[in-house]
Amino acid sequence: MMDRRRFLQLTSGAALGLSATMCGKSGNTPSFAGPTPKWGDPRPDQLAAMVPLANRPEGMLEIFVLGGLCPWDTFYVIPEYGDPARGGEHANTQWWTFQEDGDQSPAALFDRCGGGERPIMAPYATDAIGKTVNLGPFIYPLRDRPDILKRMRIDVMSHDALPHHAAIPIALSGVSRNSARMAALGTHVQRYFAEHGDPSRSAPYSYVIYQNSLDIDGNGDAASAVGFHPSSARQMAVRLGPDNPLPSQLAREAVGGYRDQLDTMVGYYQAQYQDRMRRQGNDIVARTPDLQDFEAARRALQDHESLQQLLTPESLAIAEAAACGEEPMPDEFDTGLRLATRLLTSPTNRAQYVNVMEGGLYPDPAGLGYDTHAMHVLWSSRNMVHLCKQLAAHINEPGENDPNKLDLDKHLIVLNTEFGRTPYREFSKLNPFGTGTNHWCYGYATIVIGGFIDEEKSGVTGAIGEDGYAIESFHPSEHRAAMLLAQGIWPFSPEGFRVSDVRDAKTELDAAMFLKEQILEMPA
């Protein structure tokens, strides 16, 4: 039996769709008559779950913290948990894990990283069970910006995949690596805006920026995965590194002055091959994924001028930086963040989504920068302080209005990660002295800043208990689908998410209403 609320949602959505049809409006609203709705459009009876146009960001920046963003000294500090004075089985865990480590303790590293006279932690908000969550020492550059904190929300997350190879795809796509529909968030965004935008545009709408040290064919491939989408939905992948060859490759210097002739010749043979794929007696072309991949690559190669203007040698240049008194290192995160900001704020061919895959300024000897198996406090402090300083520097301060910086009224920023770090020491062959941490997927944090997060929506969603396990949390499938919905993209389709990816949902409308009300915190 349908309750009154759901009946009103359905009928109001249908009425909106009919109104748009009768008034001849266009855009993202599908009609009952006319052409088939494009990918990512809802049906008229689903419009009640869509985010209003005024609440959608102009672009989304995702920073993917590779290795595991540790909540216990950054975004989720509850000093009551693990307090040795209270005793119990969880004593000396979470915030207290490394407090007695002398010059390797959080207090010592906070001082070495420029904490100064600031308090080592600052109360932020209460979680779902009423505990006060503090912001820890290593994110003090964000703590110094009340304007950012007013637009920031901490979402508690959990899943059950502990290895990087399994957890990264779940965090990036919302589905596991063994699923044929594993597609990066930027893939959905690229397809949606390519099909709804200017057909003459050649520049991509979505980008993923890889640091040179990342194994793209291993842990990084999920950031570019296409799944069931056509090849044209693949986002632009930019690999950073010294003496980057990308600008000269975009200029196609190797073909010199006969570029147009080459393109014409390849197009001729391509058309011939395509004719062989046609079914006899009609114009239907057989589905040939490899040929479609080739055609998409050729189109991208030929329409390279706009990319040349965006991906210049200057925008890909890498300078050195130092953090917390360590030796300078090539700062690929700053390069990636500068490039992402440039793409998201460009007056022409503006990107809708950019993912910066962040591996840290300093690598941990036993893992990536945030995969701190060997020396957690030492390397986590340096990398997180550096990340937060650079991010804050790229966000407009109140009244600044720099068009070349991110604007929290226009841009949605997500700090994502595959999991957190254990709330206790790790002892292993890699870490025999217990100075590091292991993987922890059972309760961690994803951070959302700006966009649909206003001051009323800031704070903490969910809760983590003293044992480190989430008490209330979202699954990455739900969070990923919600980030699509936030951008005005209907997330449910054969290429996207299923109803079963959202808890307790029986229909697409049920699932979308959960995302809108619980994750986006928007009324029906």
- 483-502 pLDDT, tens digit per residue, is 999 999 999 999 999 999 99
Q: Is the pLDDT of residue 257 over 90?
A: no
217 and 138 in a single domain? The answer is yes
Query: pLDDT at position 364, please?
Result: 81
Query: pLDDT at position 293, please?
Result: 67
Query: pLDDT at position 307, please?
Result: 85
Structure letter (DSSP) for residue 516: I
pLDDT per position as a tens digit, 131-145? 999 999 999 999 999
Which CATH number characterizes residue 233's domain?
3.40.720.10
Q: Which sign, positive or negative, has the C-alpha torsion 372, 375, 377, 381?
A: negative
Predicted confidence band of residue 279 (pLDDT cuts 50, 70, 90):
low
Q: Is the pLDDT of residue 264 over 90?
A: no
Q: Is the pLDDT of residue 12 over 70?
A: no
Lowest mean pLDDT among 50-59, 257-266, 302-311, 330-339: 257-266
Q: Is the pLDDT of residue 181 over 60?
A: yes
**Structural tokens at position 361:** 């300024």
165 and 271 in a single domain? The answer is no
385 and 269 in a single domain? The answer is no
Query: pLDDT at position 4, please?
Result: 45
Query: pLDDT at position 1, please?
Result: 40
Predicted confidence band of residue 273 (pLDDT cuts 50, 70, 90):
confident
Question: Does residue 26 lie within any of the structural domains?
Answer: yes
Q: Is the pLDDT of residue 26 over 50?
A: no
Predicted confidence band of residue 283 (pLDDT cuts 50, 70, 90):
low
Bridge partner residues of 206 (DSSP):
353
Query: pLDDT at position 352, please?
Result: 98
Residue labelled with tokens 């961690």: 444
Q: What is the pTM of this model?
A: 0.88
Cβ partners under 8 Å of residue 42, min gap 6: 13, 30, 49, 50, 490, 512
Query: pLDDT at position 505, please?
Result: 97
Question: Does residue 516 lie within any of the structural domains?
Answer: no
Question: Does residue 19 lie within any of the structural domains?
Answer: yes
Query: pLDDT at position 253, please?
Result: 67
20 and 57 in a single domain? The answer is no
Query: pLDDT at position 281, please?
Result: 53
Query: pLDDT at position 425, please?
Result: 97
CB 321 within 8 A of CB 329: yes
Task: Output the average pLDDT for the chain.
Answer: 88
288 and 399 in a single domain? The answer is no
173 and 24 in a single domain? The answer is no
CB 66 within 8 A of CB 369: yes
Question: Does residue 498 lie within any of the structural domains?
Answer: no
275 and 348 in a single domain? The answer is no
Q: Is the pLDDT of residue 2 over 60?
A: no
Q: Give residue 16's domain range.
A: 12-49
CB 307 within 8 A of CB 236: yes
75 and 97 in a single domain? The answer is yes
| 187 closest CA partner among 239, 227, 233 | 233
- The more confident residue out of 175 and 431 is 175
Lowest mean pLDDT among 8-17, 98-107, 437-446, 455-464: 8-17
Question: Does residue 6 lie within any of the structural domains?
Answer: no
**Structural tokens at position 479:** 């969070």
42 and 66 in a single domain? The answer is no
Question: Does residue 504 lie within any of the structural domains?
Answer: no
Q: Is the pLDDT of residue 29 over 70?
A: no
Q: Is the pLDDT of residue 415 over 60?
A: yes
Instruction: Give mean pLDDT, residues 206-210.
Output: 97
Of these ranges, 1-5, 212-216, 224-228, the one predicted with the greatest mean pLDDT is: 224-228
76 and 117 in a single domain? The answer is yes
Lowest mean pLDDT among 31-40, 157-166, 229-238, 511-520: 31-40
Query: pLDDT at position 276, please?
Result: 72
Instruction: Give mean pLDDT, residues 296-321.
Output: 81
279 and 397 in a single domain? The answer is no
**Structural tokens at position 350:** 């503006």
Number of domain units in the chain: 3
Instruction: Give mean pLDDT, residues 381-392.
Output: 98
Question: Does residue 396 lie within any of the structural domains?
Answer: yes
33 and 141 in a single domain? The answer is no
At residue 511, the 3 state secondary structure works out as helix
Question: Does residue 518 lie within any of the structural domains?
Answer: no
Instruction: Give mean pLDDT, residues 47-53.
Output: 96
Alpha helices in 126-202 (DSSP H): 140-143, 146-149, 164-173, 185-196
CA dist., res. 116 & res. 261, Å (int): 63
